[in-house]
Amino acid sequence: MTTLSVNINKIATLRNSRGGNNPDLVKTALDIERFGANGITVHPRPDERHVRYQDVADLKKVIKTELNIEGNCTEDKFVQLVLANKPAQVTLVPDAVGQITSNHGWNTLEHRDYLIKMIGVFKEAGIRTSIFVDPVIEMVEGAAATGTDRIELYTEEYAREYATGNKTSVEIYTAAAVKANELGLGINAGHDLDLQNLQYFVDNVPGLLEVSIGHALICDALYYGLENTVQLYQRQLK
C-alpha cells in the first residue's frame, strides 16, 4: 500500500503570520496522525519562514509515525538538524536559498560524488535516504549509483498536464518507476498531487511506497475539515 505523509509547512506558515502559536504545529501534527496519516513531512528552510528548526526537535519527541525531513544538504545547519533528530527518512532536495517551493530534481549524474558522500553520512546515522529526482531514466539510474534507498519523483509536470485532461503525462513516471524497481530503489512522489489526480497516479506508478502532500491537502481541509480530508486522501491511495 502507498502511504501518506502529510507536509505541515502550510500550518507553520499560518502560525508564523501572527507571531504566536496558533495553530499549534505539534498538536496539529499529532491530530493528523490520529486522523490516519502514515507520516509527517517538514521542509525547514534557512529563513525559517514556515517550519522552524526548533519545530523539528519538538516534533521528533512526539511523532509516533514516520518523520520525514526534507531540505538541501548543502546547508550545514540542515545536515546537523537531521543528524541531531534522526528522522525515519531524510529527503534531499536541491533548493536554492530563498526558493519559494521545490521546482526540480537533482542532476544525479553531475552531482553523483557529492550525493554519494552526503547519503553516506545519513545512512551511517541509520537514517533512510531519499533524493528528489525528475522522471528521467538517466536521473533514476544516476540515483541508484549514489547508494540512496529511495527516490522521490517530482510530480508537478504530471499534475499540470492532468489538469488539462492529458493523462498521458503519467507515462514518463511509469517508465521511471519501472526502472527504479529494476534497480532496487524505493519510490516516493510529491508536488501538486491532490484529490483529483492522486488515484490515477498511484494506479499507474508501480511500486509507489509513499506520497508527500501538503499544500493541496491543507487547502482541501478548509472546505472538508482536516480529519475528513486526511481520510479522503487515504481513500485515493487504497
List, by residue number, the catalytic residues: 43, 70, 191
d(CA 178, CA 206): 7
Residue type, 182: E
CB contact set of 235 (below 8 Å; sequence gap of 6+): none
10 Å CB burial of residue 181 (0-12, 13-18, 19+) is middle
- DSSP states of 168-218: GGGHHHHHHHHHHHHTT-EEEEESS--TTTHHHHHHHSTTEEEEEE-HHHH
Grouping H, G, I as helix, E, B as strand and the rest as coil, residue 155 is coil
d(CA 198, CA 36): 17
Cell of 137: 531514466
d(CA 40, CA 217): 13
Whether the ω angle into residue 23 lies within 30 degrees of 0, i.e. cis, is yes
